[in-house]
Structure 1
Amino acid sequence: MTVAACLLLYGFAVAVLAPRLLLRVSHGSAAPHVALSAWLTSIASTVLAWAVALVILILDLVTHQVRTVPHRFMDTCLVHLHDAVVGDYGSPIQIGLLLLAGFSALAATTVAVRLGRSLLRSRRTTLEHGRMARLAGRHHSGLDAVILEVDEPAAYCVAGKPHTVVVSRGVLDALGDEHVAAVLSHERAHLTGRHHLLLALTRGLTAVMPRIDLFAAGAVEIARLLEMIADDAAARIHGRATVFQALLALSGLSAGAHRMAEEGLATRLRRLSEPSAPIVRTRARLALTAGAAAAVLVPLASVVTAIIAITICSPLEN
């Protein structure tokens, strides 16, 4: 039970510390791949810690196997809690704690079911969107994309079977061939990198637990970083200047309700027009690595220290 409590505290500490640290060090986006890894590591460690803690707690309360472990390995408060669960402090307290365990399991199951439904709904919507786009447009073998005969500018990708890149007639008429190729490379980079899976998962976590800043801020930041990673992939093929001009032209065409977020657009354009020097990218990678380590490993070190202290300082049984 001590391990479960420590894991719960660890997950809480990461959920509180990680957003502030990572937002501060990843804002410049000189190293989007490292920033993405830092966010995903923090989110995954938090979810895993809470899930394992809940499983340990439920199993312990239901099976009472904690009595097989010497008391010197656990905190006195947790020993009293276990005694209450097995009925040493009376039936009312025992029933109340068992009900609490049941409600915790029910809450966790509800969150898992809602997350699963959110992911399935997102997948169904994506597959249906791709099917409708292929029906409404026509496949262009030269571009390997589906063209929609509409003046409204649009260029996006839809994951599915098969993956589909969609571009509107408005984009083809407004951009030159090399700029269209850069836009399509950007969209294919999303599909190759399976960015849709990361977006679906982070947005699903935000939908079921919107008040946790790590998930809410992480979903927004991960979406922004994925756009930059796709920009970089397209720039390696067509050059930064071409991708910059294509992005600038698209932002001008979309200057209405569908215009890209100003801050995200400005950051992407600045990265393409003024690439960071190697020393700046190296410093950014080091800062991001240090930020992720501080957010994940410092709470972990505290948990390990607490367990060691309990083990050493608890009185030995005679």
Structure 2
Amino acid sequence: MSVAACLLLYGFAVAVLAPRLLQRVTHAGAAPRVALIAWLASMASTVAAWSAATILLLMDLVSHGISTAPKRFLDTCVTHLHDASVGRYGTPVQAGLLLLAGFVALAAGVLGLRLAKSLLRARRSTLEHAQLTRMAGRQHPELDAVVLEVDEPAAYCVAGKPHTIVLSRAVLAALPDDHLDAVLSHERAHLAGRHHLLLAGTRGLAAVLPRLTLFTIGATEVARLLEMLADDAAARIHGRGTVLHALRTLSGMKAGPAGALGAAEVALAARMQRLSTPTAPAARTRARLGLTAAAATATLAPLASVLTAALGIALCTPFSG
């Protein structure tokens, strides 16, 4: 049970501290790939820690709830909880604790179900939109994109079977060939990197846990970093200046559907500033080192908690004999 307690505390610590710290380091976009890993590691490790803690608590309560064996050695920070679970404080307290455990399990199940429904709903929406777009637009074989005959500028990609890049007639008219190629490279980078899966997962967590800034801010930051990664992919092919001018032309265009990844829909001002003023190599290196340390800590801390507790090393307070 000490492992579960420590995992719960770890999850709450990350949920409270990580958003502000990561946002401060990743705001400039100096190392977007490492920043993305740090955000995803923090969110995933928090969910994993809370899930593992819930399972461990339930297993302990079920296995010891009706036990009459002598009390085993436990950390002092969870002694009273264990005493209650084995009935040392009376049957009503024990029953109440088991009822609370059942409620926690039910709440976790409901959150998991809501997350699954959110992901399935997002997938269904994107698939339907991709299908409707291919029906309403015309396939442009040279661009490998679907062109909509509308006068409003639009450029985005939608995951589907197959994936679809959507452009409007207004975008074709507004962008010269090199700028259009940069926009297409941006969208292809999204599809090749399966960015829609990361976006759906983080937005799903933000929807089911709207009061936790780790997930709400994290979803926004992940979307921003994914756009920066796609910008970098396009810039490696066409140059930063070309991508910058293309974004300026597309600024203010109509947003795509939910779940779509548009070239000029997310954090446009910050991305344009980043393209026009590249980060100094020294600052980029410092950002990478700091974010790598943060990602490693978020990933390894829960595992270290389990391993050290399993080896008998007290993480909450020393073992009592």
1:171-214 deviation per Cα after TM superposition (whole angstroms, max 9, x unaligned): 00111111111111101111100100000000000000001111
Query: Is the 8 Å Cα contact of residues 136 and 148 (structure 1) preserved in structure 2?
Result: yes
Q: Which has the higher helix share?
A: 1
Partner of 2:72: 71
**Deviation for aligned residue 1:38:** 0.6
Distance in 2 of aligned mates of 1:315 and 1:79: 10
- CA drift of 1:286 comes to 1.8
Give the 3 Å change call, closer, same or farther, for CA 183–311 of structure 1 in structure 2: closer
Q: Which residue, 273, 276, 281 being the options, matches 1:278? A: 281
More divergent stretch after superposition (285-294 vs 10-19): 285-294
Superposed, 1:230-241 pairs within 5 Å as 230-241=230-241
AA partner of residue 314 (structure 1): F
Q: CA RMSD in A?
A: 2.8
- The whole-number CA distance in structure 2 between the counterparts of 1:125 and 1:204 is 14
**Residues 13-92 of structure 1 mapped to structure 2, 5 A cutoff:** 13-64=13-64, 71-72=72-73, 74-76=74-76, 78-92=78-92
Distance in 1, Cα, partners of 2:251 & 2:130: 24
Q: Normalising to structure 2: TM-score of the pair?
A: 0.89
Verify: 1:314 aligned to 2:315, yes or no: no
The 1:302–1:163 alpha-carbon spacing in structure 2 relative to 1, beyond 3 Å, is: closer
Distance 1:303-1:249 versus aligned 2 partners, 3 A rule:
same
Q: Which runs of 5+ in 1 are unaligned?
A: none
Q: Aligned partners of 2:206, 2:270: CA distance in 1, in Å? A: 24
Contact 2:190–2:196 (CA<8 Å) still a contact in 1? yes
Amino acid at match of 2:319: S
Given the alignment, which residue of 262, 267, 270 partners 1:267?
270
Q: Distance in 2 between matches of 1:69 and 1:40?
A: 43
Structure 2 matches for 1:123-134, cutoff 5 A? 123-134=123-134
1:16 shift after superposition: 1.0
Asked if the contact 1:83–1:89 (Cα under 8 Å) also holds between the matched residues in 2, the reply is yes
Aligned counterparts, 1:1-318, within 5 A: 1-64=1-64, 71-72=72-73, 74-76=74-76, 78-251=78-251, 264-292=267-295, 308-309=313-314, 313-316=318-321
Q: Give the conservation status (yes or no) of the 8 Å contact 1:85–1:98.
A: yes
8 Å Cα contact 1:14/1:296 also seen in 2 = no
Deviation at 1:33, TM superposition (A): 0.5
Deviations 1:50-99 (A, max 9, x none): 00000000111112289889733x22453332232233322211111111
Partner SS for 1:308:
coil
**Identical columns (%):** 66
Aligned length: 312
CA distance in 1, matches of 2:69, 2:86: 14
Partner Cα separation in structure 2 for residue 69 and residue 3 of structure 1: 20
The 1:78/1:253 distance shift into structure 2, 3 A limit, reads: closer
Distance 1:67 1:188, change over 3 A: farther
